[in-house]
Structure 1
């Protein structure tokens, strides 16, 4: 960072959100939504490309899990914490713009990989770039919007994860079906360059728009920030919940398109399109509805920002197990759709809870630290674990049924995730900082 940036008052007495009118907030949120969409499209397009990649390189499901999990997660979490430390002190807009440029380049490079290990190396680069996406974006949203509107705004932003998933699966699947999996990476990755230009000119950094005084917390090093966050029981339980949640929701579910292809006989384009439509409905209803419901419940009792996602996660378990057990796509869709609404509805309030208890000066670090553990263990090991279970079960039941049983087993992780969120609710009020 070349320019020293002043930090926001710890008590938020300056109210940075007052710098913007409602229309400008919507514009800023829309650009952040687009960057999030690019982030998740580039990350998730590989999910619909696993079967053609498997066929070309002749690798096992465990290796596919390594490609989608650890290869992405290692640098994602390694780079994420120092970037978050910078985001809590510096120019968050610049971090987002440069990160967007890097992950777009690396996604396009996935399309020119000539062997499995070159593809894995490019995925490492995607992870390193995307490490600078979510923490600074959520931190900016928390400055753009007052506390009583944050869950709703975060719900809109988190919907970008599903929007990106939809684009990655549908567009990526269609391009792969008609032109090849390499071309799919190029089509998904290259538009990020144009978006980076738009983000550079449209996004605003509140720390540069007003003369905020330097706060004591600005002198904290990363270790001090981490120590203070982990001292909070509510924060620890939210992190535990995210770790277990990510094992399935952001880990093993990468095999859903492969499941539809192997078990139900869909083509790559059909699987990507169907799962994209299901994700679209789940994203709109879940993220927007969950964010609004979270705001409403929090006004009655702030502990509901943790209780609500806990109950939603537990309710999703039987729906997902049942969806993978069904014998046809027609029976699978309604169960998976309702389960997806519950999962995506839980996400905005989980992160609203983080922002409530972390304090204004540690927002990016709070998100990045949670993502460090959730992505390293959940996203990193979730696909590998699902792939290993699938390979083991395939020796007994065949590759199609082996994957079915693997996804059913992995769905059980939603129960402990929900329990951890309910435990977080018990400590939330005592951990409040603002």
Structure 2
């Protein structure tokens, strides 16, 4: 009888574990879906660049600012909003953010001039500010630690996949129904996903199914971290700072290429707006696939030697710099497109290794804030200035000349990752010692 009871209890535990595992993937799928909406709303603008340029007579600098202002707002606000989300509830914060960016995208559809569009785009950035950092922190809190590079790479790849959908679908809708309809379609997609998220995911359900997750423990106990302690945890080592810097600098290239690839194909391959957007979407899709593949490869190569993740990041930087530099200097044609595709495949491969390093080098209880800091670096150093700087250079020497210069940003990114690698072992030992000391108190 006792044995039968034990077997029943064991079966119950297994059932709960299986149910929790399934629910974790449901949470991942819906959170990933909202990330798609995030980037669809952000990048649909790039698909209609040629149409806006013609309709309103905008310069390349103005077009770049409409793209870059979103990343700028994300960079400025991601940290404070992520700290608030850790305290207020991550799921509630994600729902509020998605609702705001969907409303702002609808505002883009009714803008009548450059100033109104710039304001609407800034509000899109306001809504999207902390979504990436809070979303990945939520996901990492309910999955095993050994999947961190894979999950981080896969989740961040959602930005590339969302960009693909935003540009391809946005270009198609713009040509057939007008550019305003493109923004309206992205807004509707966001509202549908927000509704689904609202009914399926909640902080209470996650806390009930994953009571051992650091984030749920922290929220349940009502812990509050002082600003001084928070900053100490976020910038406690040289290597974590290098991870922030290397990731942000490398994404400068990704941000520039995503924003300007439709215009590149339109100007140098004489493709109409919809075909240029669809062609650019293929390149961005390669970038997203590369983020996932590079994350998986990094986890497998570095399973028994985590420090190798720094070397994989350096390898991705070097490969992208060589391939893109050569590609943008070739004449228009098949060989140029092949090299550009290969370069874009690895250009954002650093996302997985950098995210894993940040997670390893910061306390689990402040992972939302840690990924907010990583997002801040990604946006202020990379995604925000990438389109703007490229547009400003393009006004002076042409878009092709600007894109030939952009891959050189990989050089300082490699230097940052190299310094991080040299300090990683001692920094990790120091963090482990501090954690051990804290546990004995």
Please give the TM-score of this superposition, normalised by the length of structure 1: 0.88
Q: Residue in 2 aligned with 1:91?
A: 89
Shift of 1:213: 5.0
Q: 1:297 to 1:146 in 2, by over 3 A?
A: same
Q: 1:113 to 1:427 in 2, by over 3 A?
A: same
Q: Does 1:307 align with 2:311?
A: yes
* CA distance, structure 1, for counterparts of residue 340 and residue 227 of structure 2: 40
Q: Residue in 2 aligned with 1:237?
A: 242
* CA distance, structure 2, for counterparts of residue 387 and residue 278 of structure 1: 19
Shift of 1:296: 1.3
Spell out the pairing of 1:264-343 with structure 2 (5 A cutoff). Answer: 264-284=269-289, 286-343=290-347
Task: Deviation per CA, 1:316-368: give whole Å up to 9, x if none.
Answer: 11211222223224222211221122123322222111111111011111111
* CA distance, structure 2, for counterparts of residue 430 and residue 196 of structure 1: 44
Which residue, out of 403, 409, 413, partners 2:409? 413
* CA distance, structure 1, for counterparts of residue 424 and residue 222 of structure 2: 22
Spell out the pairing of 1:66-105 with structure 2 (5 A cutoff). Answer: 66-69=65-68, 71-105=69-103
Task: Deviation per CA, 1:187-215: give whole Å up to 9, x if none.
Answer: 11221111001112222433465386559
Q: Which moved more, 1:369-378 or 1:188-197?
A: 369-378
Q: Which moved more, 1:326-335 or 1:111-120?
A: 326-335
Q: Displaced runs of 4+ in structure 1, greater than 6 A?
A: none
Aligned residues: 408
Q: 1:76 to 1:271 in 2, by over 3 A?
A: same
Given that residues 28 and 204 in structure 1 are in contact (C-alpha distance below 8 angstroms), is that contact kept between their aligned partners in structure 2?
no
* CA distance, structure 2, for counterparts of residue 93 and residue 214 of structure 1: 15
Given that residues 282 and 338 in structure 1 are in contact (C-alpha distance below 8 angstroms), is that contact kept between their aligned partners in structure 2?
no
Unaligned runs of 5+ residues in structure 2 are: 1-15, 433-441
> Any idea what SS the aligned residue of 1:218 has?
coil
Unaligned runs of 5+ residues in structure 1 are: 1-16, 394-401
* CA distance, structure 1, for counterparts of residue 80 and residue 142 of structure 2: 23
Spell out the pairing of 1:147-162 with structure 2 (5 A cutoff). Answer: 147-162=145-160
* CA distance, structure 1, for counterparts of residue 218 and residue 381 of structure 2: 36
Given that residues 109 and 180 in structure 2 are in contact (C-alpha distance below 8 angstroms), is that contact kept between their aligned partners in structure 1?
yes
Which residue, out of 336, 353, 357, partners 2:361? 357
Q: 1:29 to 1:326 in 2, by over 3 A?
A: same
Larger Rg: 2
> Any idea what SS the aligned residue of 2:302 has?
helix
Which residue, out of 118, 137, 159, partners 1:120? 118
* CA distance, structure 2, for counterparts of residue 296 and residue 217 of structure 1: 37
Q: Residue in 2 aligned with 1:30?
A: 29
Which residue, out of 102, 108, 113, partners 2:106? 108
> Any idea what SS the aligned residue of 1:328 has?
coil
Q: 1:25 to 1:171 in 2, by over 3 A?
A: same
> Any idea what SS the aligned residue of 1:345 has?
coil
Q: 1:112 to 1:214 in 2, by over 3 A?
A: closer
Please give the TM-score of this superposition, normalised by the length of structure 2: 0.87
> Any idea what SS the aligned residue of 1:190 has?
helix
